[in-house]
Amino acid sequence: MKILIWIVMNENLDYAKIIEENTKTHSVLIDFFATWCPPCQTLLPILDSISSNTEWSSYLKVVKINIDQYPVIATKYRIQSLPTLVLIPKHPQKVLEIARQVGGISEKALIEWLDQHKIRA
């Protein structure tokens, strides 16, 4: 499985630092998910499919956060439904959410959503 740049959070990683460091060079798409969530599982191959386009890897990194393992992070981002995608644009000094997508989304709609926010600009 090839995924954009797939960062799965674990207890040894500082999620805020990972996001902050990656937004200096790329936009970051945070995928809040749970293993028991069917729409979250449906989103997995969509993210994988987008990542097979090597152009995306020069613009976007994906951070996956399992809300059952990291409820504090989910609370910080006010996650109330799954899946939730949070988009943070490339910026050398700030980490600022510009958009979020709640619920399932098709590959075409996800690409249109990312393009709407000028991720490849």
- What angle in degrees, to the nearest 10, is found between the helix axes of 107-116 and 38-51? 70
Query: Which residue matches tokens 């399992």?
Result: 66
Catalytic, 113? Answer: no
Catalytic, 37? Answer: yes
Contact 45, 107 (CB under 8 A): no
**Spatial separation of the C-alpha atoms in residues 56 and 41, rounded to whole Å:** 21
Annotated catalytic residue: which of 40, 43, 60, 110?
40
**Spatial separation of the C-alpha atoms in residues 46 and 64, rounded to whole Å:** 14
Displacement of CA 108 from its chain's centroid (Å): 16
Annotated catalytic residue: which of 28, 37, 47, 87?
37
Residues assigned a catalytic role: 37, 40
